[in-house]
Structure 1
């Protein structure tokens, strides 16, 4: 098994050990789709850490709907049986599905809400107020919760405050044309995020109604459409024409009914005279050509903008006789080709392969360059117009439709509320709708409903980290457990992937630089001198190989620390060894004594 194979196996083993400790939990929610209002009570999976009871307003109110009392809901809320006008019969029906059920997540056991179950269908449902709201001397406060449990792609979740008129008495006929006084709530399609506040203003002159649209919010509201959590929407309209819009108790928009709506409540006192006509001699030109300017004598208007580059030279590899495109030699005429019907068949053209890698093919012509003598058509310079009269505008006349409504707060009274929606996302949950004339009542109502939900969601979010931290602070020994649990897999991964065996290190070092040793290598061994007649016939190579093996075992342990110093020692030892060998050879040749090297060498094994 090679070193690379061992390394790969070790990495794979370490990764398997780490991922074996990870567990993934996933859950899918299925959507139900029916044609009636269903009551479905789903128990929350987690026990609430906050006490929750159905909220009850602490003061006067016109509507307070928490959807927790199913029998009360069924008596008050009426699904629409109307049809939209001007569209296909099948699309005109309000056949969207409404259901009363618990939230999909982060909910209390006893908390229910109104849920729009279906998507891509028109849906409408409405309820009468306990008593109509009249715009007198107290503010209007509208408050309700919205939870896009599946997020929102395209669609609205706004609430309509239906006008107190004959058209809104039968809520079964509630549809998009039903008169409303205020429309308030979130809406989104694509990247267009909106928080509507629209009111219908009555013209005091002729009694007609016109929609007035509030300016866009100052703050970002994107998160409420994406985080799949409940959010509280609040509208406060005051008798002094001021308004406030809040999301989760935070002001996101504010202004004045007279100043911050389009079109404005009160029209202009003067308008342009539709019968006024601009005089024929009215001069609107700020600048005119200088009438006294003359074209210079040397101005040549006939000079072309481009001329042939006379210095250009045809490239030496240019192929004049080769066309750029040639008939495809591999093309074949289709079997069903009819010359009488289709004409003479011709192979499709393809690029000429002979033109690849050369400057060009076909007839060569020099390129065009800018003409330095080109000036173009002469035009006189522009000067200030001495007869300039300014931009003409029609004269103003009194607006025959002018009126002044100093108190647009006094809107049409409200007697019902309803949702008339179309959405491409399902499972939109509505809860805790409140219509009142007291800001304090609304705040108290929110403290008993939305604020408790928010607190529970925050606690559940903390449980993964904060609770573990608090629990660990009470038991400090757990930090050692965490360090082992986290550090051990990392250490194993490092050791298995980055470590190497002793044999691999030794092999790598020897292959990297064989010169880092005092032992003689095949390149360093000197050429032995010719043997004398009386010299013993002992294989010199085998004796030196054994010496090299013994020296290598002793020197491997010193290599790492002495590599730099050994480079110089190697040269000195080689010179000394060579001198001794030459002296031994001379003594042998002269017949004096035995072979000296045999005294230090071990006998050869048979």
Structure 2
């Protein structure tokens, strides 16, 4: 959630400078909707030229798509049809292309692209040599980029089982495979498949074994429109590792962490065993020896009338709680023939407001002390309890033990058999090897360079693009943006466009005993300076030593003459102002002295 609020904050910062108060006064179209324009920023990251990778080591397939001709010379587009499917959609008519992806990180770097959406696609390529599971790791690695995002569809590869009669032109969904691996998404469900087909040593049939779900969150790999590298390692010790961008996202054992298990249970329930008719699986029963007590009367009611109750004093039995409103009048437009007989509306009876009650009084009901209810025997442990019945266990006739599920069916080709609601899905740099160092070397020359370039480009990415990506799978974020971003922007615009003028400050009436404000202290200093210019002797702190302090009575007497003194001071102030035109003193009018109320 932190990343979400960060995006919202960035959007607000970007949006605010686009609005200017001055522009609101100009003659813009009043009916134009506010729109967010995405400006294409100049790409300051210099593209590096693509350099084909080189390998030293044992490889079974290395496909970097260095030439557009590779689609015809090294890969085979399927011409088959799906079985048990409507004729109109059964054909694998989705288009493939080897071309340079848009927003390519390296100039001249080609890749295999799935070009059409809502179509069945199938394409495959033979390995340079058959991979046999004979004691070395099996490693498959390739890159995927969802250029337009992904709503529903897969980008997984199938490692096709070796078959000397294999015809890649007939590659389809029923073609036997040994391993299926890669990303898949539909709706809000994100998957990273690892499925292998294991042969039942008793029946000879193949069963799909699904690895447990990844422990890491892989959701962003489907939405960030960046190139991601998927790696699967199957080790001879029957362990597996799944990595995305060289980061481990899942690992486990072929024996313990797949479903259904490779090895069936040694024992199973006997399908022919039946539960005996006299089997008692009741853990608790009613006591068969218990009997109802003689004084137990089931006919006694739960509630009885309180015969000792008496009507409260002041109860008005002759009055009703509601009476017709005596002040109500029949409406002038009331028609008895059309509206029926008019009746005054009912109101609460005022006589009942202070009385304990009105109307007919009835004795209340109380709990019956003799009531016991329906009798039932107490519950006790069942002395004949035989436990929960289970069928007998017998040896599993289909049991086998395969302690080396690593030794899978040999692999002869790699294929992509996909259906997607999004187009322009990029596949690149397929690698199959039995040497981890070769895979690391391959990644260093391909994906690591590409990823570094994409990260450098994304540093200058539009905030609008980032927000659109974040809201693609989380539409509810638009409501958050509307409240958190748009509303504050409107308030800021309103604030910016307000008049800059401030109301004149009015000096309130103050007593002479009130503490002087900073402005008053400054004016007092100016007055003292004026007196110095006029030759008056002023003591420290602005006090005139020749002036004696007045009593409270004198001060009150002086206040009666404040009005006359104000006129004299204003005259003196005008004369001082004419004498000291160049003086740096403040030009604001002097505050009036407070008068006695």
Q: Same fold (TM over 0.5)?
A: yes
The equivalent of 2:195 in structure 1 is: 198
The equivalent of 1:137 in structure 2 is: 135
1:277 maps to 2:274: yes
Task: Output the aligned Cα RMSD.
Answer: 4.5
Q: Give the Cα separation in 1 of the matches to 2:303 and 2:458.
A: 72
The equivalent of 1:209 in structure 2 is: 206
The equivalent of 1:389 in structure 2 is: 386
Which stretch of structure 1 is more off in the superposition, 248-257 or 158-167? 158-167
What count of residue pairs does the alignment treat as equivalent? 437
Change (3 A) 1:355 1:209: farther
Shift of 1:257: 0.8
1:225 maps to 2:219: no
Change (3 A) 1:14 1:416: same
The equivalent of 1:105 in structure 2 is: 103
1:284-325, CA deviations, whole angstroms, 9 ceiling, x for partnerless residues?
Answer: 122222334455655647858999xx99x9995699xxxxxx
1:133-157, CA deviations, whole angstroms, 9 ceiling, x for partnerless residues?
Answer: 1110111000011111222212211
Determine helix, strand or coil for the equivalent of 2:241.
strand
Kindly indicate whether the alpha-carbon contact (under 8 Å) linking 1:106 and 1:456 is maintained by their aligned counterparts in 2: no
Determine helix, strand or coil for the equivalent of 2:455.
helix
Change (3 A) 1:217 1:558: same
Shift of 1:410: 1.0
Q: Give the Cα separation in 2 of the matches to 1:118 and 1:145.
A: 19
Which stretch of structure 1 is more off in the superposition, 92-101 or 397-406? 92-101
Matches within 5 A, 1:263-342: 263-294=260-291, 297=295, 300=298, 303=301, 316=321
Change (3 A) 1:280 1:371: farther
Shift of 1:49: 5.3
Kindly indicate whether the alpha-carbon contact (under 8 Å) linking 1:148 and 1:228 is maintained by their aligned counterparts in 2: yes
The equivalent of 2:445 in structure 1 is: 448
The equivalent of 1:408 in structure 2 is: 405
Determine helix, strand or coil for the equivalent of 1:271.
strand
1:115-171, CA deviations, whole angstroms, 9 ceiling, x for partnerless residues?
Answer: 11222221111111111111101110000111112222122111000011256x211
Kindly indicate whether the alpha-carbon contact (under 8 Å) linking 1:97 and 1:117 is maintained by their aligned counterparts in 2: yes
Q: Give the Cα separation in 1 of the matches to 2:373 and 2:568.
A: 93
Kindly indicate whether the alpha-carbon contact (under 8 Å) linking 1:134 and 1:414 is maintained by their aligned counterparts in 2: yes
Determine helix, strand or coil for the equivalent of 2:504.
helix
Determine helix, strand or coil for the equivalent of 1:201.
strand
Kindly indicate whether the alpha-carbon contact (under 8 Å) linking 2:43 and 2:457 is maintained by their aligned counterparts in 1: no
Shift of 1:183: 0.4
The equivalent of 2:501 in structure 1 is: 501
Q: Give the Cα separation in 1 of the matches to 2:136 and 2:385.
A: 57
The equivalent of 1:25 in structure 2 is: 38
Kindly indicate whether the alpha-carbon contact (under 8 Å) linking 1:301 and 1:378 is maintained by their aligned counterparts in 2: no
Change (3 A) 1:548 1:198: farther
Q: 2:173 aligns with which of 152, 173, 176?
A: 176
Kindly indicate whether the alpha-carbon contact (under 8 Å) linking 2:302 and 2:367 is maintained by their aligned counterparts in 1: no
1:255 maps to 2:252: yes
Kindly indicate whether the alpha-carbon contact (under 8 Å) linking 1:52 and 1:452 is maintained by their aligned counterparts in 2: no
Determine helix, strand or coil for the equivalent of 2:263.
coil
Change (3 A) 1:462 1:281: same
Q: Give the Cα separation in 2 of the matches to 1:184 and 1:305.
A: 73
The equivalent of 2:154 in structure 1 is: 156
Determine helix, strand or coil for the equivalent of 1:62.
strand
1:558 maps to 2:571: no
1:387-406, CA deviations, whole angstroms, 9 ceiling, x for partnerless residues?
Answer: 22221111111111111111
Q: Give the Cα separation in 2 of the matches to 1:405 and 1:207.
A: 13
Determine helix, strand or coil for the equivalent of 1:90.
helix
Structure 2 length as normaliser, TM-score?
A: 0.63
1:398 maps to 2:395: yes
Kindly indicate whether the alpha-carbon contact (under 8 Å) linking 2:322 and 2:347 is maintained by their aligned counterparts in 1: no
Kindly indicate whether the alpha-carbon contact (under 8 Å) linking 2:181 and 2:195 is maintained by their aligned counterparts in 1: yes
Matches within 5 A, 1:449-598: 449-462=446-459, 496=496, 500-501=500-501, 504-505=503-504, 509=506, 557-558=590-591, 566=594, 569-571=595-597
Kindly indicate whether the alpha-carbon contact (under 8 Å) linking 1:269 and 1:398 is maintained by their aligned counterparts in 2: yes
Change (3 A) 1:284 1:456: same
1:54 maps to 2:52: yes
1:366-407, CA deviations, whole angstroms, 9 ceiling, x for partnerless residues?
Answer: 9xx999668765544432222222211111111111111111
1:15-63, CA deviations, whole angstroms, 9 ceiling, x for partnerless residues?
Answer: 769xx9x994357xxxxxxxxxxxxxxxx97754556412233321111
Q: Give the Cα separation in 2 of the matches to 1:102 and 1:370.
A: 91
Kindly indicate whether the alpha-carbon contact (under 8 Å) linking 2:211 and 2:258 is maintained by their aligned counterparts in 1: yes
Change (3 A) 1:16 1:202: same
Determine helix, strand or coil for the equivalent of 2:173.
coil
The equivalent of 1:523 in structure 2 is: none
Structure 1 length as normaliser, TM-score?
A: 0.63
Kindly indicate whether the alpha-carbon contact (under 8 Å) linking 2:68 and 2:99 is maintained by their aligned counterparts in 1: no
Shift of 1:516: 7.7
Determine helix, strand or coil for the equivalent of 2:69.
helix
Q: Give the Cα separation in 2 of the matches to 1:118 and 1:464.
A: 27
The equivalent of 1:189 in structure 2 is: 186
The equivalent of 1:34 in structure 2 is: none
The equivalent of 1:425 in structure 2 is: 422
Kindly indicate whether the alpha-carbon contact (under 8 Å) linking 2:323 and 2:346 is maintained by their aligned counterparts in 1: no
Q: Give the Cα separation in 1 of the matches to 2:136 and 2:196.
A: 17
